Copies of this chain bind each other. A is one copy, B any other.
């Protein structure tokens, strides 16, 4: 379990240190794998407000602190531990989605590979999602 200095990290992006933001960041940072809005909602308890959640998530994604991963219409969120993914997609890891149990897994050891793009495209990010059956469901 990795602890994140929310004060520091929010300052870095000129974002005010507010309760909802701190909560969302901490919850995601404490999870090795992506989790759903509902998971976050439960952990936030009273503090959870839907509108605030969407806005917080939006801004945190914009600065690159967290990620949104969508598979089969299921949306999950994860803390971006590598953080500086801007223009260095190869630092990002691959995500795995199990079609049976609908769980999402961060494959930290599998990094995104380099893709030769046609000229004139500016690459800012690269997301790799592998779908299939996880080891638990395979049994």
Residue positions of A touching B, CB distance < 8 A: 68, 70, 73, 89, 94, 96, 99, 107, 109-110, 113, 115-135, 138
* A121–B132 CA distance with the chains assembled, in angstroms: 7
Q: Are A123 and B130 in contact (CB under 8 A)?
A: yes
**A130 B117 Cβ-Cβ under 8 A:** yes
The oligomer's copy count stands at: 2
Q: What would be 10 A-B contacts, judged by CB atoms less than 8 Å apart?
A: A96-B117, A99-B124, A115-B130, A117-B130, A121-B133, A122-B138, A123-B130, A126-B128, A126-B131, A127-B129
- How far does the alpha carbon of A132 sit from the alpha carbon of B121 in the complex, in Å? 7
B99 contacts A121, C-beta separation under 8 Å: no
